[in-house]
Structure 1
Amino acid sequence: MTAKRVPIVVAAAAALVVTATTASTATPARAAACGAGYVGLTFDDGPSGTTTRLLGALRQNGLRATMFNQGRNAAADPALVRAQVSAGMWVANHSYTHPHLTRLSQAQIDSEISRTQQAIASAGGGTPKLFRPPYGETNATVKSVASRYGLTEIIWNVDSQDWNGASTDAIVQSAARLTNGQIILMHDWPANTLAAIPRIAQGLASRGLCAGAISPQTGRAVAPS
């Protein structure tokens, strides 16, 4: 009886050693994966009919992103805003109707920004801390109004050109130019952007970069808190 138990005990002990070794190396391995830093993936103009598929692709590939939502879209489909949050994304302000803000009066700019803050909050997206002006167009008045609502203006370092019909290959190549702290502009709706997600994830991982949050303090991509 005793002789028969020995191999079982030895095998169990060996298994414990393997398990302990695996557990002890898992955390450093994950930390090392982001050794080159963090980048900000951003998607403008949602939520929309393609948001659910976009969120699925991001989650399947272990990516988080900042969703710059239009207020009118958030108000029209609050469930999608909640889905963005549930998927681990950050929700931000992209104006209410996507106008050329620099052509508007201060009161009109205020309305665009304030209504979007309210629409996103009412939909369950929290109170945004980041703001991206449509078309990246800004001036002192736009910056002043955004600041009044506690918003940090975020433009981008790399434009994927997905809004301009860029191919999936071109979008992937744009993401390959990102370096630590930088932000890429993409959009919620293009099919080519959705198709690019797995390859963007692979490319970042191969370069030791991770998808991070955008800091309201610095406007740069950082490790999620």
Structure 2
Amino acid sequence: MTATYDTPVVLDRREGPYGEVVLRRHGELLQIIANGTFLMDTSDGRSERLLVDAALNALGNRTEPNVLIGGLGVGFSLAHAAADPRWGAITVVERERAIIDWHLDGPLAAQSAHAVADPRTKIVETDLIAHLHETCATYDALCLDIDNGPDWTVTEGNDDLYSSAGLTSCARVLKPGGVLVVWSAQPSPDFEETLRNAGFQQVRTEEIPVARGVPDVVHIAVRPG
């Protein structure tokens, strides 16, 4: 039976250490589904671009700052960072091998091939929280797009990232004056308060306009110098 335009078609399905992850095509869109829950698709990318731009803007005139992007996703954040020559090294932490493969030689390569091939880009296959605990590297900016944000996580354990302990780990790998930018599917005043309690300064939230419903946001905070 031939699929219609409105029928999602599964392109790949993997069972990994964190559960099932699926890449499917729905019309012209590619979608990532984790454990049966929709995570993201290739429909827009405004919020991912804002994530990266907000970090760079907050850094001011810092020369060739390096950035860690938490979550490869459909590649919008990486592609946008790699398109800007002002960034220095670009490290992407992604724990799902399937998602990395879809970018290296699968359907998502159309989104990100140029960015993946950029000599500044390094993709690290590991859990972000583990990387924050273990790495000896420090970063000028952390751009985190993990799960659906602080208030509703799909994957067990991801909420640890948004806790006081998780934010302390973020601060540990940030250089003085470094910027933490966190994507969220909805505004979170409680998360803003957690950021302040963790010692971050200049905490603010930027909304991404949407046609209807609650806007996506990015939370922005600065580690004291």
Indicate the TM-score class for this superposition, using the shorter chain for normalisation: 0.3 to 0.5
Kindly indicate which of the two structures has a greater share of residues assigned to helix: 1
Kindly indicate which of the two structures has a greater share of residues assigned to strand: 2
Higher relative contact order (CA 8 A, sep 6+): 1
| TM-score, with structure 2 as normaliser | 0.34
- Rg larger in 1 or in 2? 1
| TM-score, with structure 1 as normaliser | 0.34
